[in-house]
Structure 1
Amino acid sequence: MSTLKSLGLILFLAAFVATKQGLAQTLTQTIRGRVIDKESQEPLIGASVAITNLNPVKGATTDADGNFKIEHVPVGRHTLKINYIGYEDQLISELLLGSGKELVLHIGLLEAINQIKEVVITSSGSQEKGVAQNEMATLSARSISVEETKRYAASVNDPARAAQNYAGVGSTDDARNEIVVRGNSPKGILWRVEGIEVPNPTHFAEEGASGGAISILSVNMLDNSDFYTGAFPAQYGNALSGIFDIRLRRGNNEKREYALQAGLLGLDFAAEGPFKKGYRGSYLVNYRYSTLAILNKIGVNIAGDATPKFQDLSWKINLPTTKAGVFSVWGLSGYSEQNLEAVRDATKWKESWQHNDEKFNSSMLATGISHTYSFKNNAYLESVISLSGSQNTYRRDSLSSTFTPNLKYQQQFEHTALRTSLLYNQKFNARHTLRTGFIHSTIGFNLFSEGVDNEDHQLKRYVDNDGRTGLYQAYAQWKYRIAPTLTLNTGLHAIRLGLNGSTSVEPRLGLKWNFSPTQSLGAAVGIHSRHETLSVYYAQKALANGQLVYPNKNLNFTKARHYVLSYDHLVRQDLRLKVETYYQRLDHVPVYADPEIPEATLNAEAGFTTDSLVNKGKGRNYGLEFTLEKFFTNNYYFLLTNSLYNSKYTALDGIERNTRFNGNYIVNFLAGKEYKVGRQDVNLFSANIKVSTAGGNRYTPIHLERSKIEGKAIYNEAERYSLQANPYFRTDIRISYRKNKPKASYILSLDIQNVTNRLNMYNRYYDNNTQSIKTATMTGLIPILNYRVEF
C-alpha cells in the first residue's frame, strides 16, 4: 500500500506542476460533427445546429456532406439543438467540452411522418438517453456512452463493468468482468466489434468464457455502443442472454490529438489525426502496457510472484473516397500472462494448492476491413471482412517434497475465424425500412487438453483435435412506423452450424406504442440460439478397445424463447422510470448424460467440459426489473436499478433446481455530483458513488466425511445448488479532477473498489491437506489511481 501511496503522490505532484500557471484568457474549443438521416445514413444538407445555453447563441448549418463546425466555444458543458425541415428535432444536453480535444459528434435525425412535437434528447450521443443506437431495437436494449463508462464508480473504463449497473445484470466475481444477464450463464454473451462477431476481448480470458480480469477495449477507442439483455433484433444471432455491439470511433480528421494515461491498470498512449490537409481520412491508435509489469521490472513488486502482465493494441483507419464509399481498417489485440510458483519450502504448504506451479497465458486478435457504400435511393450497403483468433494455454504441476514437478493438467486451445458480413439497408419512406444480410464464418480450431484422472491417477487425453467448420447466418428485418406513436419491428434470423448440421430458424417481433408524449408500452418476443464452444464438441472418450469417440459432437443449439413487456415514463426531461418484465424458456439445454449428476451447461462460467452431454435439459428465467434514472443535468445524476428474478434448470432426473446464478435479487444505486472550480469555473471536480447488494451465488453442499475418505471433494449431487452464499454487498467510490489549460486537459482520478473491504463469499471448497471445507472469497478493497493528459 505504501508503494501505491508513493505512486499517487508522484502523479498528483505532476498534475499540480503541469497546471500551476493561472488562466490568462478564456479557454475555447471546437464542436463539430455530421448530421445524417438516422435510417438511410444520408447526409442532411442545411440542418441547423445551435448551442442554446450561450448568450448570444452560437451555431452553424451543415454543408453538402452534412458536416458542421462551431469554433471558439467556451469549455464546459453545453446543450445543442438540431433542426431540419421534415425531421424531428433533437436536443442534446450536457455535452462535456474540454480544452484538450475537439468534440466530434455523429447525429442521426428521424424523419417525421407528420408534424409532431419536439423530441427531447438528453444524451451525449445522437439519440435519447439510454436508447440503443440501432434503430431496429425495440426493448431490453440501451446505449452505453463513453462518458458513462468513464464516470461510473468502479467501471474503470470497461463497458462490461459499466453494464453491471443496469437492471437485470449481475456479476459472478469482483475480480472479473463477466456478467450474468437475467440469471443466464455468462457464456450466453455475444461480443461484436464494428458489426461483426469477435473473440472475447478480455485479458486473462479462460476457454469458452465471455469475460476476464481486464478489458482489451480502450476507452480511447470507443464510440457510444449498444448493450442488449433480451429479445434481440433479427440481425443478431448466436447469442442467448446478451449482446455487446461495440463501435470504434473515427479519429479526428482535421487536427492531431493525443492522450497519455498512467494508472494501476496500465500505461496508455493514444494518437489520432488526419493523413493530410484537405482529406477527410483519419487514423486512431492506442497502445497499453501493464503498469504492474513495469514496476516489477524495476524492482517494485506489488503483486508478489504472480504479477499479471498484459499489453494491448487497437487501431482504426478511416478512408473515405469520392465515389467508392468509405473504407475502414480496424483491429484490436491483446496478450496476457500470469505465472504462480510455489514457495520452495514444504513446511509452509498449508493447503493443497500451495505446492502447485501454474503458468497461464492468453491472447486474441481481431482485425477487419469495413466498407460502407451509399446509394442514391436512400439505401446503403455495409460489408465487413474480418480475421480473428484467440489462444489459451495453461499448465499445472504439483511439486513433491523435493520440488520435483509432476504434471497434473495442461491445455492449449487455439481458435481462428474468417468472417464475411453483408448488410443492405433500404429506407423506402418515413414509414418503411428494410434491413437484410448474411454472415459467413469459417472457424478453425486446434485443441489439446490432458490431465491426471482423479480415479486411476493416470494421465488422460481429454481433447486432441484440429480442423475447421462453418457457421452460416442470414436475416431480414422490417421496421414499420404504423403511426407517429406506434412502431413495429419484425424479422427472421436463420443459423446453421456446419460441424453437425444443427439449424435454427428464429422469428423476432417487437412493438412499441407511445400512448402519450412521455409514456410508452412495449412488447417483444423472439427465439434465440447459440452453439457450444468447439472444445465441448471434441471432448473425447476412449472405449475398451482403444477407439476414440466424441460423444458431444452432435450437440444441437441451446435455444431460448424470450418474452418481454415494458413500460417507460419520462417523468420530466431528465428523469425516466422504466419497468420491464420478462420470461425466458430454454430448450435443448446440454446436460450430463449421467442422470446421477444433475448438471447443465447453464451453470458454467467457461465453456469446456470433458463429460458426455445430451440436449435433454431445459430451463426458465423470469423476473421484474425497475429503473429510475436521473440523467446528468444541473451537474448531478443518479441511477437506481432493482431486479427480482428466478433462474431454474432441469437435468435428466426431471427435478427443477436453482441455477448457480439464481441470486433472486440485485439492487444498484449510483450517484454523482460535479462542481465547477477555478477562477473562471472551467475546471471540474466530481464525486461518484455506487452501492450494490444482491443475493449470493448458489453452491452444492460437500460430504465432508466421504471427502476425507476419497481424498477429494465429494458433492451431494441430489442437493446441487441448494445452498446460497450470504447476501452480496459492496460500495465503490470515484473522485476526479479535470484541469483545463489552453493546450491540454489534465484529469486525475481515484477509484476505490469495495471501500468497506467486505469479503463477499465466492464458493465453498474441500482442502485435502487440512481435510476441511473452506470458503473462497472475492476481492477486498482495491484503489485504482489514474492520471490522464489530453492534448
Structure 2
Amino acid sequence: MKVKVIIPSILFCLLFNIVSGQNITQTIKGKVIDKVTQIPLPGATIAIIGTNPLIGASTDANGEFVIKNVSVGRYNIKVNFIGYEPMIINEVLVGSGKEVFLTAEIKESLVNMKEVVIRVNKEDPLNSMTTVSARQLNVEESSRYAGGFDDPARLASSFAGVSSNLGNNGIVIRGNSPKGLLWQMEGVEISNPSHFANITSFGAGAITALSSQMLANSDFFTGAFPSEYGNALSGVFDIKLRTGNNEKRENTFQAGLVGIDLSSEGPLNKNKKSSYLFNYRYSTFALLAPILPPEMGKLKYQDLSFKINLPTKKSGVFSFWGISALDYQGRDAVKDSSSWKSDIDKQKYSTNLFMYAIGINHKIIIGSNTYISSTFSPTGYGLSLNQKSYNENNMIVPTNKIDNYIWKYTFTSFINHKFNSKHSNKTGIILNRLQYNLNIQKADSNQTSLLTYVDDHGSSYLLQAYSQSKYNFTNDLALNIGVHSQIFTLNNRFSIEPRIGLSWIFLPHQVLGISYGLHSQLEMLHLNLLCQHQIFWANHLLL
C-alpha cells in the first residue's frame, strides 16, 4: 500500500516541477499611428522597459509590430518616433490566454524634445478633442471590478460624479436621469445596450448586453463633451469594438450559474489581414431561481455581437459590426385568492424586449494629413408588454398593454484634417431617419376597459452637424473649440450648441482645465408624443 501511495506522489512532484519550470510566454502585437491623422508610422521603435537584454521591435511599412516570446506579467512599454512625443504605456497585462494587441496613438511634437516622455495613464481619454470630465474605460478594469458583473456601465459608477444602485445599471451623472446619457457604438448612437432596458427605470437595465470579449478601450464623458457628440444631456459612453486577431484563431467558452458565453476570433484571409470576432451569450437564470424573488418570474436573455474587419490596399478599411439582444420576463398569477400576500400575486404578465444595431463603416486615409470615416447603420428597440390581474370579482382582466417599436437609419460621415502640428479640425454630419410604431394602453380606474394613451406611427428626421478644432499653443497649452447643431423635423425645433475648453499642464502630472458646453436632447419618442415634442436643455461649465 505504501508503494502505491509513494509512486503517484513522485509522479505528481515530477509533473509539478516540469510545469513550474516552464517559462510561459505570449506575443505582443500592435500598431503605431498619428493620434490626429490616424496614419501609420513606419520605423517607430517599441521597447519593453525593464527587460534584460532589452526586448523590443520596430514598426514595418504599415506601422505594425510584433514582439514574440514575452513572459506573462505586467510591463511598461515605451514607444519612440522621430518628431513625435515619446510615450510610455503603463501596466500592460500579458496573459497566457490571448495575444496582446496595442494601438499606440502618439502626438507630433511642437518642439524638439530630448528626454521629455509622455506617460499614458489608463484614465486618459482616447478622444484628442477632450478637455475635462472624460475618462478612458479600460477593458481589464471592467473584468476585474468587484461587483461589476463584467458590466462597463457598473464600472462607470465608480468614477467621480457618477452613481448608480444595485437594482439596475443606470448611470446617474451629477444627479441627471440615466436617460440623459448618449450611448454610442463605432460612432453611431444606439439604444441602451442592456438586457431588460427601460423596465424599472428609463435609461437603465439589469445587465449589459456587451461582452468584455468584444470591447476595446472606450471613452466615458461626464460633461462639456466635444462638439461631435449631440443629443445628450448628462454624458456620453463612446463604445469601441476591438478588431479580431488577423493571424491566429482563438476561441473561448465559459459556463456559469447565469448561462454560457462563447466567443471566437481569427483571420478570414491572412494575406489581406482581414479578421472576424464574435461573441454569443445565453442565460435562463434557471439555476438562480431558488434565490431570486418570486415576483421576478421567469427570466431569459441572449445576445450576439460581432465585428468583421476588411482592409484593402487602396480603398481604405471596411468593417461590418453589430449587436443584438433578446429578453423575456414572465409570471403567472396565483389563482388561489387565499394565498395572495400582495397585489403582485394577482398579476400575470409577459414582457418581450429586443434591441439591435448593425453597421458598415468605411475609413480611408487621404494623403498624409487627412482621413474620412463614414458609417451607415440601422438600429432599433422594441418592447411588448401584456399584463393582466384578478379584479374584485376574482376575474382576470387586462391592466396594461404596450407595444412600442422604434427604429432608425443613421448615416454619419466626418473628415479629420491636420493643418500643421498645432492645428487640427474634425467636421461631420449625422443624418437620422426615425421611425416609430407606438401603442400604450392602461386600464381605467374601474378596470373595465383599456384606455389608449398613445397610438401613433410615422417617421421623422433628426439632422445634426458639427465642427471642432484643437489648437496647441505649446506642448502644455491647448484650446478645444467647436459647435454642434441639430434640428428635429417633427416639430422643426433647432438648436445651436457651442463648446469650448482650455487645458494647461502647469506641472508634470498636473493639469488645469476649464470647459463650457451647451447641450440638448430629444426626449424618448413615446414620452415625446405625450409631452408635445419637447427638447430638453442643459448647460455645462466644468473645472
Taking structure 2 as the reference length, the TM-score comes to 0.93
1:298-377 maps to which residues of 2 (within 5 A)? 303=292, 306-377=297-368
Q: What does residue range 404-483 of structure 1 map to in structure 2 within 5 Å?
A: 404-454=395-445, 458-483=449-474
CA shift, 1:53, in A, is 2.1
Does the 8 A contact of 1:263 with 1:291 survive in 2?
no
The AA in structure 2 aligned to 1:564 is L
Q: Give the letter aligned to residue 181 of structure 2.
A: I
Which residue identity lines up with residue 117 of structure 2 in the other structure? V
Q: Which residue of 2 aligns with 1:196?
A: 188
1:264 counterpart = 2:261:
no
* CA–CA separation in structure 1 for the residues paired with 2:383 and 2:343: 24
Whether the 8 Å contact between 1:140 and 1:229 is mirrored in structure 2 is yes
Q: Is the 8 A contact 2:39 2:368 kept in 1?
A: no
In the other structure, the counterpart of 2:266 is: 273
More off after superposition, 272-281 vs 207-216: 207-216
The answer to whether the 8 Å contact 1:422/1:438 transfers is: yes
Query: Among 44, 49, 61, which residue is 1:52 paired with?
Result: 49
Query: Any conservation in 2 of the 1:488–1:512 contact (CA below 8 Å)?
Result: yes
Instruction: Note if contact 1:158-1:215 (Cα within 8 Å) is conserved in structure 2.
Output: yes
Corresponding residue of 1:560: 538
Residue 123 (structure 2) pairs with residue 145 (structure 1): no
Does the 8 A contact of 2:408 with 2:433 survive in 1? yes
Residue 178 of structure 1: SS of its match in structure 2?
A: strand
Q: Which runs of 5+ in 1 are unaligned?
A: 1-18, 122-126, 540-551, 566-791
**CA offsets 1:392-417 (integer angstroms, 9 cap, x no match):** 11122112478632011110100011
Q: Distance in 1 between matches of 2:510 and 2:62?
A: 35
Q: Distance in 1 between matches of 2:244 and 2:316?
A: 18
Superposed CA offset, 1:717-757 (max 9, x none)? xxxxxxxxxxxxxxxxxxxxxxxxxxxxxxxxxxxxxxxxx
1:508 paired to 2:499: yes
Matched, 1:103 2:100: yes
Would you say the 8 A contact 2:90–2:122 is kept in 1? no
Is the CA contact (8 Å cut-off) linking 1:410 and 1:451 kept in structure 2?
Answer: yes
In the TM superposition, residue 342 of structure 1 has moved relative to its aligned partner by 2.1
For residues 36 and 87 of structure 1, what CA distance do their matches in structure 2 show? 11
Shift of 1:518: 2.6
- Aligned residue number for residue 243 of structure 2: 250
Question: Shift of the alpha carbon at 1:264?
Answer: 3.2
Counterpart of 1:119 (choices 117, 120, 125) is 117
What is the alpha-carbon distance in structure 2 between the residues aligned to residue 98 and residue 129 of structure 1?
18
Is the Cα contact below 8 Å between 1:346 and 1:401 reproduced in 2?
Answer: no
For residues 23 and 149 of structure 1, the distance between their equivalents in structure 2, rounded to whole angstroms, comes to 30
User: TM-score, normalised to structure 1's length?
Assistant: 0.65
Take 2:361 and 2:258, find their aligned partners in 1: how far apart are those partners?
Answer: 31
Q: Within the alignment, does 1:184 sit opposite 2:176 as a pair?
A: yes
Q: Which residue of 2 aligns with 1:232?
A: 225
Q: Which residue of 2 aligns with 1:390?
A: 381
CA contact (8 A) 1:90 1:118 kept: no
Contact 1:120–1:128 at 8 Å: present in 2 too?
no
For residue 359 of structure 1, report the CA deviation from its aligned partner.
1.3
DSSP-derived class of the 1:384 partner: strand
- Deviations along 1:169-189, whole A, 9 cap, x unmatched? 011x31210011001111101
Seen in structure 2, the aligned counterparts of structure 1 residues 83 and 287 have a Cα distance that, compared at 3 Å, is same
Distance 1:335 1:403 in 2: 34
Q: Once the 2 structures are TM-superposed, how far is the Cα of residue 22 of structure 1 from its aligned partner?
A: 3.2
Give 1:241's match in structure 2, choosing from 234, 244, 247: 234
1:507·1:527 contact (CA, 8 Å) conserved in 2? yes
Matches within 5 A, 1:656-695: none
Q: Distance in 1 between matches of 2:319 and 2:260?
A: 26
Question: 2:398 is matched by which residue type in structure 1?
Answer: L
Mapped to 2, the partners of 1:291 and 1:561 lie a distance apart of 43
1:476-526 deviation digits (Å, cap 9, x = unpaired) = 001000111100000000011011001100110000011122322110001
Residues 327, 155 of structure 1: CA spacing in aligned structure 2 closer, same or farther, 3 A cutoff? Answer: same
- Give the distance between the partners of 2:395 and 2:281, measured in 1 at CA: 37
CA contact (8 A) 2:193 2:355 kept: yes
Letter in 2 for 1:87: Y
Deviation at 1:258, TM superposition (A): 1.1
Give deviations 1:197-227, integer Å, cap 9, x for gaps.
0111111112782220011111000000000
Q: Contact 2:409–2:433 at 8 Å: present in 1 too? A: yes
Q: Give 1:442 shift.
A: 0.3
Distance between the aligned counterparts of 2:256 and 2:413, measured in 1?
40
Per-residue CA distance 1:94-138 (angstroms, 9 max, x = gap) = 2111112110111100111013453342xxxxx432111100111
Comparing 227-236 with 204-213, greater Cα deviation is found at 204-213
Please give the alpha-carbon distance, in whole angstroms, between the structure 1 residues aligned to 2:327 and 2:404. 15
8 A Cα contact 1:255 1:274, kept in partner: yes
Give the unaligned 5+ runs of structure 2: 1-14
Distance 2:467 2:52 in 1: 48
Q: Secondary structure at the match of 1:483?
A: coil
* CA distance in 2: counterparts of 1:277 and 1:368, whole angstroms: 24
SS of residue paired to 2:539: strand
78, 83, 95: which is aligned to 2:80? 83
Q: Does residue 28 in structure 1 map to residue 7 in structure 2?
A: no
**Contact 1:271/1:286, CA 8 A, preserved across alignment:** yes
For 2:392 and 2:533, locate their aligned partners in 1 and report how far apart those are by CA, in whole Å: 45
Cα deviations across residues 751-789 of structure 1 (Å, max 9, x unaligned)?
A: xxxxxxxxxxxxxxxxxxxxxxxxxxxxxxxxxxxxxxx
Of 255-264 and 314-323, deviating more is 255-264
Q: Distance in 1 between matches of 2:191 and 2:457?
A: 18
Q: Distance in 2 between matches of 1:292 and 1:402?
A: 35
Instruction: Work out whether residues 284 and 299 of structure 2, in 8 Å CA contact, stay in contact via their aligned partners in 1.
Output: no
* 1:528 and 1:559 in contact (8 A); partners too: yes
Decide whether the 8 Å contact of 2:329 with 2:351 is kept in 1.
Answer: yes
Alpha-carbon distance in 2 for matches of 1:401, 1:554: 39
CA separation of 1:456 and 1:58: change in aligned 2, threshold 3 A: closer
C-alpha distance in structure 1 between counterparts of 2:37 and 2:327, whole Å: 41
Question: Are 2:399 and 2:447, in contact at CA under 8 Å, matched by a contact in 1?
Answer: no
Q: 2:204 maps to what in 1?
A: 211
CA spacing shift, 1:168–1:426, aligned 2, 3 Å = same
